[in-house]
Chains A and B, each alone.
Chain A
Amino acid sequence: MVLISKMNTTLIRSARIIDPRSSFHGTDQDILIRNGIIEKIGSIEAEDHFQVVSHPGLAVFPGFIDGQAFLGEPGFEDAETLESGLSAAARGGFTGVFSLPNTSPAVQDKTGVEYQIRSAAGQPCSIYPIGILLKESTLAPLMEMDEAGAVGFYNPEKSIQDSSLLIRGLEYSQHTGKRIFSFPLDLSVSPYGQMHEGVMSTQLGMKGFPSLAETIQIQRDLSILAYAGGKLHIPTVSTQESVQLIRTAKNQGLDVTCSVDLNHLIFCDDDLAGFDTNFKLLPPLRAASDRAALLEGVKDGTIDHLVSNHQPVNFDHKYCEFGLAQPGALGLQTAVLLSLELFDLDVVSRAWSTGIREAFGLQVAHIEEGRLAELSLIALNRPSVFKHSDNLSISSNSPLFDRSFQHTVAGIINNNKSILYV
């Protein structure tokens, strides 16, 4: 059952609060929400007009934000639209999504940012547009996009090869206080790469991207950051060396943050043995030892937050030879559920809620009385299956269909609205 409603008064009954910064952390409480504000936390009597949410094993988190999803619109409506993408995001437990700017036209000015925000107005799941950093070899209007609401600046899946452009980007972006994303892959190392270079690529006869293609890009970027200042974000790191480089840089005081794609935490290059194009990702799935280091990086906080890296790809661009297939996999509806199987609840809360908000300067959502109700609801130990019929994306490029999950997304509450799925 899906119940979407504009809320007046909602009572969440006996839920475990998972917000390490809240005085109610780890306790089971009733939560009363009125007009989009958490009015009271404690033991609360229900009244007739209350919408009551009650499930065994219900856990409530500060709203989860996905730091990287491609929502297709404008230009790629055959793969995704803002409406379908935000529906999938809410279904996956997200109260907010950073939308990637490589639409057509790209999100490259104030109008583009405003279009995205306007299109999502009134939705329970909020949109945080990322703007383009570079229009070819010139800076996009970063200050204008910042004013319109852009959350950061990025040219997705295109590494910045020209060092002077990254220097200028980091310097100029300091007028906005926002982060520059730098895609960690030096394509010149392996221009024909299809997957991670390793044992599996050797067995499959495919050209690979060595881990080096990522680490030399990150090494350069960190050197530039030390020189130029500003705030750098390395999205979707994939190698063990990258985690160590960023750990060291943080210890040295550099303002660098990074994320990891959930796919990189559950799959590895061995999964490409059958040439399944749904495992063709960018950065590529790396070795099992990389996966272990990435998991460790999330646990110790080196990796600031998780991303679904939702990349809807039209059927025809996946139903073909591996070498011709477009990279990417769906992620919005499965990322949170996967993370709950990998990490304890405190880490999940940090990796989806506080980590990303701190990295990008967003107001941290707290589960405290008087705060805005921006909540993700999970029914713990209630198994669920991601079926084709549950898929809200327009595309279907997921390697996770028919997988059983230990938990279920119960719903979200945000923007004075609630969507409940169980």
Chain B
Amino acid sequence: MLSTDHLISIKELQKSDLELIFNTADEFKAVINRPIKKVPSLRDITVANLFFENSTRTKLSFELAEKRLSADIINFTSSSSSVKKGESLVDTVNNILAMKVDVVVIRHSYPGAAQFLANEVQARIINAGDGAHEHPTQAILDAYSIREKFGTLEEVKVAIIGDIVHSRVALSNIFCLQKLGAKVVVCGPKTLIPKHIQSLGVEVSHNVDETLAWCDVAMVLRIQLERQEASYFPSLREYRTYFGIDRQRLEKVGKDLVIMHPGPINRGVEISSDVADGPFSIILDQVENGVATRMAGLFHVSEKIRK
């Protein structure tokens, strides 16, 4: 049983919660590789997927996880602009809950939106990303993928490289990796790294070559082109030259690395195609593990409803 009622942030989870989810995910991963990919675990549960911000893969991943668990699903998609037009988050959610929904999966552009809902509505909340705050299921699937590769996260050296400041993934990953005993370095141009990030216990580097030489796992983050409301770096060309991960860089390091990326990828910007599709990449494993770990998360959050 999880120690929390909701799945809002990694920060509030215990290491035992993460291990519980991983163990359940192992079983669900076996399920989704069987000829019959479905179990009846959530057949009494209705899940609402509320995406107030654009998402493709997280939404698909959740939807598939819910379907594999036989949950009933309703989907709601709204751009953040309609929130600005006066559409109240609470009203939208209350309307949906009046239809007797048990679990809400929410993606929202504002940090704290998932916590706000958890405080205000009678349903279990799973945070599918709230601004640059947390995206716990992404961190869980990333850690699960590393665990699959190394058998453990203890002492595994993970570098998170790229746009940390706008990332909804970085914080959750830092908290998650640290809880599981991994060592974390964040790397990127100064303008894309939060000024006080060292207070979280991570090291900061601005040198990609040195960082690659240090790490076992390079988690490459997307340059969030749509969030560049100010000039954080001069051009994509310059970014690619000094911070992008390509084959030449990896060859220079001269050792086996695990390359990860939460997607969607800007090919030829933060990562070149030959790296993204190359032998070190586990990017597609991440996608598969996303379904299995989200099934596990949904399963354990729903388990608490029945209690």
How far is B113's CA from A320's CA once the two chains are assembled, in angstroms? 8
Most buried by A among B110, B111, B112: B112
A267 within 8 A of B: no
Q: Are A320 and B90 in contact (CB under 8 A)?
A: yes
A201 within 8 A of B: yes
Q: Are B111 and A204 in contact (CB under 8 A)?
A: yes
B195 within 8 A of A: yes
**Residues 1 to 49 of chain B near chain A (Cβ within 8 Å):** 11
**A320-B90, A324-B110 given as contacts; is B196 within 8 A of A205 (CB)?**
no
A57 within 8 A of B: no
Q: Are B112 and A322 in contact (CB under 8 A)?
A: yes
Query: Among A199, A207, A274, A321, which residue has its beta carbon within 8 angstroms of that of B196?
Result: A199
Nearest CB on A from B191, distance (A): 13
Residue of B nearest to A275 (CB): B112
B194 within 8 A of A: yes
Residue of A nearest to B194 (CB): A202
How far is B197's CA from A205's CA once the two chains are assembled, in angstroms? 10
Query: Among A197, A206, A207, A320, which residue has its beta carbon within 8 angstroms of that of B89?
Result: A320
Most buried by A among B134, B195, B196, B197: B196
B171 within 8 A of A: yes
Interface of B is mostly: loop
Q: Are B90 and A323 in contact (CB under 8 A)?
A: no
How far is B131's CA from A194's CA once the two chains are assembled, in angstroms? 13
Q: Are B132 and A192 in contact (CB under 8 A)?
A: no
A327 within 8 A of B: no
Q: Which residues of B contact A202 (CB under 8 A)?
A: 171, 194-197, 199-200
Interface string of B93-127 (1 = CB under 8 A from A): 00000000000000011111101100000000000
Q: Which residues of B contact A203 (CB under 8 A)?
A: 11, 171, 200
How far is B11's CA from A321's CA once the two chains are assembled, in angstroms? 20
Q: Are A201 and B196 in contact (CB under 8 A)?
A: yes
How far is B161's CA from A344's CA once the two chains are assembled, in angstroms? 52
Q: Are A205 and B90 in contact (CB under 8 A)?
A: no
How far is B197's CA from A198's CA once the two chains are assembled, in angstroms? 9
B168 within 8 A of A: yes
Q: Are B171 and A205 in contact (CB under 8 A)?
A: yes
Nearest CB on A from B224, distance (A): 13
Query: Among B88, B132, B195, which residue has its beta carbon within 8 angstroms of that of A206?
Result: B132
B68 within 8 A of A: no
Residue of B nearest to A201 (CB): B196
Q: Which residues of A contact B88 (CB under 8 A)?
A: 316, 320
Q: Are A206 and B196 in contact (CB under 8 A)?
A: no
Q: Are B229 and A319 in contact (CB under 8 A)?
A: no
Most buried by A among B89, B108, B116, B197: B116
Q: Which residues of B contact A62 (CB under 8 A)?
A: none
Q: Which residues of B contact A93 (CB under 8 A)?
A: none
A-B contact count (CB 8 A): 65
**Residues 317 to 356 of chain A near chain B (Cβ within 8 Å):** 319-324
How far is B52's CA from A323's CA once the two chains are assembled, in angstroms? 14
Q: Are B199 and A205 in contact (CB under 8 A)?
A: no
Q: Which residues of A contact B130 (CB under 8 A)?
A: 205
A210 within 8 A of B: yes
Residue of A nearest to B109 (CB): A323
Interface string of A196-226 (1 = CB under 8 A from B): 0111011111110010000000000000000
Query: Among B134, B195, B199, which residue has its beta carbon within 8 angstroms of that of A210?
Result: B195
Q: Are B112 and A204 in contact (CB under 8 A)?
A: yes
Nearest CB on A from B104, distance (A): 15
Query: Among A205, A206, A275, A316, which residue has its beta carbon within 8 angstroms of that of B168?
Result: A205
Q: Which residues of A contact B89 (CB under 8 A)?
A: 320-321
Q: Are A206 and B199 in contact (CB under 8 A)?
A: no
Q: Are A199 and B111 in contact (CB under 8 A)?
A: no
Most buried by B among A197, A322, A324: A322
Interface string of A153-181 (1 = CB under 8 A from B): 00000000000000000000000000000
Q: Which residues of A contact B195 (CB under 8 A)?
A: 197, 202, 210
Nearest CB on A from B194, distance (A): 5
Interface string of B222-248 (1 = CB under 8 A from A): 000000010000000000000000000
Interface string of A48-89 (1 = CB under 8 A from B): 000000000000000000000000000000000000000000
Nearest CB on B from A289, distance (A): 13
Other A-B pairs beyond A202-B196, A202-B197, A321-B113, 9, CB < 8 Å: A202-B195, A202-B200, A204-B111, A204-B133, A274-B115, A320-B89, A320-B90, A322-B112, A323-B109
Selected A-B contacts with CB under 8 Å, 8 pairs: A198-B196, A202-B194, A203-B200, A205-B171, A206-B111, A275-B112, A321-B108, A324-B110
Q: Which residues of B does A touch, CB under 8 Å?
A: 11, 83, 88-90, 108-113, 115-116, 130-134, 168, 171, 194-197, 199-200, 229
Pairs A-B, 3 closest by C-beta atoms: A275-B112, A205-B133, A205-B132
